Amino acid sequence: MKHLVVIPTYNEIENIEDMINELFGLYPEISILVVDDSSPDGTAQKVKQLMENNPNLFILEQSEKSGLANAYINGFKWGLVKGFDLFTSIDADFSHKPIYIKDAVKLIESGVDIACGSRYAKDGDTTEKHWFRNFISIGGNIYADFILGDNIKDWTEGFNTYTKDALYKINLDSIKVKGYIFQAEMKYKAVKAGCIVKEFPILFEERKKGKSKMSSHIIIEALISVLRIKLGK
């Protein structure tokens, strides 16, 4: 199966080379697509330099900063057109360990349509020490599970592997929510479309380099968006 790893970036010059090198070191057979959101720090230029020695590395440059959901959806669409079979979404900042991709692929090979990394599955965890961020994450997922009701423990986690059939069933053009909470809409629509969705434990790590994109505005938007997902608006 042709496997594409999609990495959205905005100002990830400190992380992107290390992430690409680690991914290719672990999985030399994969392809990587970096979707850069017009980073002013030179992230796209660094990727283009790395592409000179990596034929399976690609870049999709957004003409303007348009957000996480748009970056992923455009990346998935690019991969579908290019004939890829598996799609893994992963952060550039090493919050997600690339080594876990092998666990996701095993689940896919067992018949699962979407393998979802989860901090809150049995044996999952996070190194996040900031009490407020943990409170927001745990509380947000409890809230999402209460509203959406499909017994997924980690709705907002972004480390996921999809089959191409799952992406077609979800219908990427139907995704309306912006920001990181779009992960919940993807999972919700997948379940409603009859996809087999299974979580597996991961250790979510705090970013070591670069600046977090989280803000109070994003949190409020996410709470409202969960209701929109349920109502289909």
> What gap in Å lies between CA 27 and CA 100, rounded to an integer?
11
**pLDDT confidence of residue 99:** 97
Share of the chain above pLDDT 90, in %: 61
**pLDDT confidence of residue 225:** 66
Residue 135: give its domain's CATH number. Answer: 3.90.550.10
pLDDT in tens, 107-157: 999 999 999 999 988 898 888 666 556 556 666 666 666 666 667 888 888
Instruction: Give the number of domains in the chain.
Output: 1
Residue 133, class by beta-carbon neighbours within 10 Å (0-12 exposed, 13-18 middle, 19+ buried)? middle
Share of the chain above pLDDT 70, in %: 78
> What gap in Å lies between CA 54 and CA 5, rounded to an integer?
14
**pLDDT confidence of residue 213:** 47
Say whether pTM exceeds 0.95. no
pLDDT in tens, 157-197: 889 999 999 999 999 999 987 777 788 899 989 999 999 99
> What gap in Å lies between CA 34 and CA 44, rounded to an integer?
8
**pLDDT confidence of residue 65:** 83
203 vs 231, more confident: 203
Q: Residue 141: which domain range? A: 3-231
pLDDT in tens, 63-83: 888 888 999 999 999 999 999
**pLDDT confidence of residue 104:** 97
> What gap in Å lies between CA 225 and CA 182, rounded to an integer?
8
